[in-house]
Each structure stands twice: as structure tokens, then as C-alpha cells.
Chain A
Amino acid sequence: MKTETLFLSALLTGAVLAGPCANAAQSETPEALKQKIEAMRPARHVWREIQWKTCLLEGLQEARARNKPVLLWVFIHHPNDERC
């Protein structure tokens, strides 16, 4: 019995290693899946601790109004919500 279990386990493991792994239990509805995806976001995220404006004109207007310098991020991508 134990041998059979081990054999079955080895077969299953082999199957998993041989091809892309099986997904966990399927979501019942689109709404349930959406909730599962949204739950992946952390409640607070360090990338968004700084509220980067994306318009330089708006930024300079605020700099004038608040008498502050602009810290300008110039990179291939934006810092808030995309891979970079």
C-alpha cells in the first residue's frame, strides 16, 4: 500500500515537473476571480508613498504656489504602477 502510494506520488510529481504546473482550485465566477486578483495588491505600497505627478507643467505650477523645487524623475518608465 505504502509502495503504491509512493509510486502514485512519484508519478504525480513527475507529471507536474514534466509540464506546466496545475492551477489551484478554479474560481467559480468572474467576480470571485476579480476579488482574488485584487487581493494580491498590498494595502500600502512603498512605490506609492511618493505621489509623483506626471505633468511637468502641473508640477512647476505647484512649485511656484508652494515655493518648493521640483524633483524630476526622468527614466524609461513611470515609478507608480509599471515594471521598470
Chain B
Amino acid sequence: MFAGAVRETVFANPEVIRRVRAAFVPVAVRAADMEQPRSDAEGRLFQSIRRSRLVPQGLAILNKDGQVLQWTLMYDDNKAVLDALDHALQRFRQFPDAKQPVVTERYMRYPSQRAPDFNEEARPSPQLALHTPDSPCISSPRLPEGILAAQVIGRALDKNGQYSPDTRAQEHYIEDQFSLPPDLQAELLRRCAQAGTERVELPEGFAWLVATHAYLGHLDVQPLDNPLGGHETRPAQIKFWAQPIRADGQRKTLRVEGTSEVESQLDRPDSGFLYSHNVRLAWEGFIELDGPRIRRLLLSAEGTERLRWGSEPFLMMARTQSPTAYLPAGHPISLETAVRYGILMEPVASSKTPRGLPIKQ
């Protein structure tokens, strides 16, 4: 949610985009990778950077040797974002490398809520030998060859059945990734092999995995297995079937049909966490087999979605402050809409990872 709010507010501002592209080198790393760094050169850099952080997430400005000039979690308003970038550039001109000690300025909210500074020592410039196949970047962990990597796209539809033009906010447009573990893939193959010419029900684990990822909004409103502890308000109904429709030697095609309805909610007003979420979908798709392997799996769904996010105190805050000032809480959501989802699953080659899947620019 925090990251989604940063993406939808800070980095959706055209002027911020222009300045970042012109004056900075943007790098995105996972907070978990920084929290558990390896002992290689990249890991040592992570260890050095994390010393000055206020919390495990945030935006940092580094000089050319990796010294941290600034940490920021939130911004007073949109202008403060631009001011923070300008200020960071000024400090970079003063401290472009690690030849001298530097003060890390730390802001809970820029510029009004500044935390105590952190002092970074001078140090030799680190060697920046790039990764080799034996020492891959921590952001690109290799996955077992043949695992099925899934790309998910979801969009809200307007009252005329057209795609919502807003693709900035995750309650209107999402892209996501997940993978089908080998054991689930084997179970799916077994069930397909049993089909003969008849319609067979697909494994429950597969059906749940698919339905778990088909929703609009940020991570914390996930209606199944909710990460904040949201509970199902009615038993989930998820069924998928497949029936062979074509065979050409080793290659077989099965048509997939399914339905899903999931609903959950969370009400913790003390913490500001409050959501309710219902997703009802009808699915179609194809499984393409090549001998004992899944060559491709395509799914599409249409239906309706109802989503609320935000407690009353949060809604009050949202009425009086800039969205950049409460980024960890996201923004209030009230949505009731028709939706469409698409899921493409293909085996990952040995050198590929989910992060290495082609991304349309």
C-alpha cells in the first residue's frame, strides 16, 4: 500500500517524472533485500545504506559512492516533493562522492517533520564490479526451470463497458505477478490427463491461487489470505473446469471455464485499517499442453467488484491534507464497478525470472 501510494502520487506527477528522468538515476530495490543483505559488494552497500534509515521503507538519495544524502517517507504536499528533489541535487553538488564525511538528512515528512541527522564517514570509493552469472543480482533470484510465471492485468470498466481511462490508481488498473509452484502444476497436469474427452474440475489449489490474485486495489485489500488479517464474510466459492477441445499429436488444448466469488472485510478503526471487498467473476480460458508440460495457460474473467478502504479518521485526514502527506495509509477507496481480468501463464526459461519477463513500454 505504501509503495502503491508513492507510485500513484509522488511518481505520477509529470513534473516529478521530468525531473527524475533528467537529473537522477532511479533505482528500485526491495525492502526485504536491504533488510537481509548478502556478503557481496551489493550486500555491503545495502548494509551501509540501511544504517541511516528511519524505517524499513522510504526514498533515499545517494551520491556516486552510495553515501546517503537524504531519506524521506512523506512530503507535506506536491510542491514539497519538487523542493526535496531540488534540495537533494544541491547536496549532491556539495557531496558528489565519499571523499568527505556527509550528514544524512532524514525526514518523516519533508520538510516539516525532520528526524535527527545521521553522520556518514568518509570512505574509499567502492568497487562496482557488475554481477556475473555466478553472482546474480539479489533482485533477480533464479527460479526453477519450467515453473509457470503468471502476469495478471485487471481493469475497471465504466458504465458503458469501456475500460476506465484511469490506469494510475490500482483500484482502476492493476498489474501483478505470481507463479504456479511445481506441485500445483503437476496436480493440474494430472487432472488434465484424467479428462479424456470429458469436462473435469481443476484442482482447488489452482483455483484459489488464481482467484487470490484477481482483485483491484493495493496489497492490503486482498480478499483471500488478507495480509492484515481480514476475515471472509462468506465462504469463498471458486470452481474451475477444463474440457479437451483439440489434440494434435503431443499438443492438446483444453477449454477452461470457472466462477469465483470472494468476500472479506477488516474493521480495526483503532489502527485506521478498514476495508470490505467483494469480487464476483466468471472465467474462460485455455490450457495448452505439449506432451507432459504446460505450454501456456490463458485466463480471462469478467464480473463485478465492490471495494471500500479507509476508516472515518482516515477519511477526515484525507479531506484536509495532501495525499503525499499520508503515503503509508494509501488513499480512501470507494468502488463499485464492472471489471475484467486477464492472466497469462508461461514456463520460465532457466535464465529468466518474473522480473525478467517482457514488460511493455
Chain A residues close to B by CB (< 8 Å): 19-24, 26-27, 29-30, 33-34, 36-38, 40-42, 45-64, 66-84
Contacts and interface: CB of A to CB of B under 8 A. Distances in A.
B208 interface: no
Contacts of A22: 282
Contact of A70 (B61, B137, B296): B61
A61 B27 CA distance: 11
A80 B28 contact: yes
A68 B25 contact: yes
Interface size class of B (residues with CB under 8 A): 35 or more
A40 B341 CA distance: 8
B96 interface: yes
The binding surface of chain A is classed by DSSP as: loop
Contacts of B310: none
A66 B2 CA distance: 30
Interface of B: 1-4, 6-7, 11-12, 17, 20-21, 23-32, 34, 41-42, 45-46, 49, 53, 56-66, 69, 85, 88-89, 92, 96, 126, 128-131, 137, 139-140, 151, 153, 155, 163, 167-168, 170, 173-177, 218-219, 237, 253, 255, 257, 259-261, 280-286, 288, 296, 298, 300-304, 340, 342-344, 355, 357, 359-361
Task: Select the residue from A36, A71, A80 with max chain B CB neighbours within 10 A.
Answer: A71
A70 B343 CA distance: 34
B284 A57 contact: no
B42 A64 contact: no
B87 to A, nearest CB: 11
Nearest to B13: A46
B300 A27 contact: yes
Contact of A46 (B167, B237, B259): B167
Contact of B237 (A20, A54, A71): A20
A74 B27 CA distance: 9
B135 to A, nearest CB: 10
22 contacts: A23-B300, A27-B284, A33-B286, A34-B298, A40-B153, A54-B27, A54-B137, A54-B355, A55-B140, A60-B62, A61-B130, A62-B25, A64-B64, A68-B24, A69-B69, A69-B89, A70-B25, A70-B63, A71-B25, A75-B58, A80-B359, A81-B359
A53 B26 contact: yes
